[in-house]
Structure 1
Amino acid sequence: MTTEIGVWEIIDGKLESIDVSLAQAGKREVQDLEKWVKNNPIILGQDILIIGEQVRTKSGPLDLLGIDKSGNLIIIELKRDKLPREVIAQALDYVSDISSWDLDKVNEECIKYSQLSLEDYLNENFDDIKLEDLKVNENQRLLLVGFSIDEPLERMIEWLSNNFGVGLNAVILKYIQTKSGDEFIARTMIIPEDVEKERIRRTGNKIEPSDEPGNYEMDELKTLLQHYLAEKRATPQRIKKILLPLCLEKQVVTREMIKKELIRKEDVEDEGKAGLILTTISREIGIASRDYLRQIIEYERPNPWEKENYQLKGEYKPLIKELLEKLEI
């Protein structure tokens, strides 16, 4: 049986059903529903921030893109009336593209939407958020928003959530317009919010941080570094083209030096964007499995969340010079 919210108005001690759809009230998906959700994301759940609207993906425009306090991206698909079973395929299509986005791409969408960097926007809306501590886009959530739901879709959501821990939920709204013209929105969820949060916490991919360096023999270390620096991802390329050359040139490399070099070499617009990119470099070096990077690079920690004063260990400078020349840097 499909989930539906019934509402009655009490008039002179009698119950009168209120059954006015969004369409019947002359409300529209983009101009009305989307605006309500954008201005009041609390209706979708706790600690959700909208960072994009009509976001371009390889599968078409996504209604809204959000992020939660854990750094999970939230794909939000809105329907003015009933959520059909087909909407799940559309939403999964969106997430298959967005799951590959790096921090730079997420930041780009956030700036487009809010005119603020992701870090500034998160700090403005959430307390005690440090971007370096967030696993941005390590996991994704899907929220399907409508005013009723097909029974097969409800079954699929519960099955995927219960058996595979998929971060998928449906938010069912009820538009209410009383006889006097007052308007209300009521909400229910297929998966209770506290249950969904716990499942996301249990099944999330956790990237363990570490400051411990590796202890590889030179040949193995060379192979690991060569494979890593050959990766096409933006962060390994920046470590190869920005951080390591600076470390070969300078005894100590500060955060300000790296930001200036990012602005100079990558035509980064300002220090705010350079600071965001530096955060991704810092976080990459601190991933436990990247201990081979920490074997060659030392740094200080003026704060628990911040790395500063990078240095390339002297015994590895010839190896890094050789690798950079081989990789044509």
Structure 2
Amino acid sequence: MRVFETGDGQTVGLTQLDQRPVETEQELESILNQNPDVLLDEPVLIFSRQPSLDPGLPDLVGLDQYGNVIVFELKKGLSGTGSASEETILSQPQNYARALGPCDYDDLNELYQEYQQQIRSGEWAVDESLIPAESLDDAFEAVFGRVIKPRDYNQYQRMVIVAETITGQTAENVRYLQDQGLHLQAQEVQLFESADGASETLATTVVVDYDDRRVRPSRVGNPTYDEVNREILERVYPQIQSLVGGSTVGQLVNSFDSREPRLHSEHLDHPEAVEFSLRVKPRTDGQVRVTLDVDNDEEAVKTIREHADLFEEHGFEVSHTRSRHRVVMFTWEMDSFEPLNQDEVLDEIAETFALLVELSHEVFGASPQ
């Protein structure tokens, strides 16, 4: 790629700019983080940078206009050379995409909350303008000018290899993996500077692309299992009514047909920020889960962790890193809907949910009314 400066229009001829090699991958990462508009030929919202995943730390993670997750793997110089071999630069984004695949909206929003904290603390030298809103769904609306349902996030996982130069071998491998069904692209990003070094120009080219119809969701959505949600929570309510109040369970639950119904206790001694959620997703996530969630109350989270032994002795998992969603949880691995047709399974889930509510009230000194 050659880049020329046109001047002020009064001088005849063009001045060719010299390519300035990127000094470090950290520099390339910062440039792209600060300027997401240069990534791909479409709008992109970067919502996470180097999040801690089981396979490692992906460079940048974004969303496209459909809510699909995009993993950006960055490489200074030639792709598939140096510390990032041809095999590594192809396998790493696949591993990250696989790790992010099961994430729902709440999981992605947690990553976005961490990203906000990193930027505001100065960990990443980028502007706070990259945080257009406090929640991920509001940030999505601010960037793309549209709203999508929480269930429509992350239907596809996309991967982009970004390097100063995409080698012929990398391009060939990316096309092959595209043919195998992977949503993989390759992009070149190069810096050019004027002869006197006074100005720089950024040039980008998507070397290997695909039609966006390939990742445009069908919007069929995931099942919400509203009848199962109602059945479980109605079994729960008689066991906890003396604690949580209300005359019906419907008064305490946000919505039975929501993706994740939440129950709120009306007990005066129980923190308003602490809620209980039910997540029934055997076909999509292979799990059913009951959780204790906290909405922006550090003291409540501290109290819960101080009583971690009480929850854990009853089989619950207590997180010492999450401070909002799934602070306490219990999970059943379930890869089909069939077990949820059995009364004993529904009773077990209901009893565990009720126990979580009872333990929470005990921790916060909320006795039966």
TM-score range, shorter chain: 0.5 to 0.7
Partner of 2:295: 270
Partner of 2:163: 146
Partner of 1:100: 102
Gaps of 5+ in 2: 81-85, 118-133, 242-247, 256-260, 266-272, 277-290, 298-321, 327-335, 353-369
SS in 2 for 1:147: strand
For residues 91 and 68 of structure 2, the distance between their equivalents in structure 1, rounded to whole angstroms, comes to: 20
> Retained in 2: the 8 A contact 1:167–1:196?
no
1:102–1:209 CA distance, 2 compared to 1 (3 A)? closer
Pairs within 5 Å for 1:31-110: 32-45=27-40, 46-84=42-80, 85-86=86-87, 87-110=89-112
Pairs within 5 Å for 1:233-252: 245-246=236-237, 250=248, 252=250
SS in 2 for 1:190: strand
Alignment coverage as a number of residue pairs: 257
1:113–1:247 CA distance, 2 compared to 1 (3 A)? farther
Q: Are positions 1:258 and 2:258 aligned together?
A: no
SS in 2 for 1:128: coil
For residues 35 and 170 of structure 2, the distance between their equivalents in structure 1, rounded to whole angstroms, comes to: 26
For residues 263 and 173 of structure 1, the distance between their equivalents in structure 2, rounded to whole angstroms, comes to: 46
Pairs within 5 Å for 1:1-329: 5-9=1-5, 13=12, 17-23=16-22, 27-30=23-26, 32-45=27-40, 46-84=42-80, 85-86=86-87, 87-114=89-116, 116-132=134-150, 134-161=151-178, 163-180=179-196, 181-192=198-209, 195-201=210-216, 207-208=220-221, 245-246=236-237, 250=248, 252-253=250-251, 254-255=253-254, 258=262, 260-261=264-265, 263-265=274-276, 266-270=291-295, 323-327=345-349, 328-329=351-352
Deviations 1:241-286 (A, max 9, x none): 7676249962634418935258244442318999999xxxxxxxxx
Deviations 1:4-38 (A, max 9, x none): x2224568756654343324xxx4322x3222211
Give TM-score, length-normalised by structure 2. 0.58
> Retained in 2: the 8 A contact 1:138–1:205?
no
Greater RCO, 1 or 2 (C-alpha within 8 Å, sep 6+): 1
> Retained in 2: the 8 A contact 1:75–1:94?
yes
For residues 215 and 347 of structure 2, the distance between their equivalents in structure 1, rounded to whole angstroms, comes to: 44
For residues 212 and 61 of structure 1, the distance between their equivalents in structure 2, rounded to whole angstroms, comes to: 35
Give the percent of matched residue pairs that are identical in Structure 1 and Structure 2: 22
Partner of 2:316: none
Give TM-score, length-normalised by structure 1. 0.64
SS in 2 for 1:325: helix
SS in 2 for 1:185: strand
Gaps of 5+ in 1: 215-224, 226-235, 278-288, 297-318
For residues 31 and 234 of structure 2, the distance between their equivalents in structure 1, rounded to whole angstroms, comes to: 45
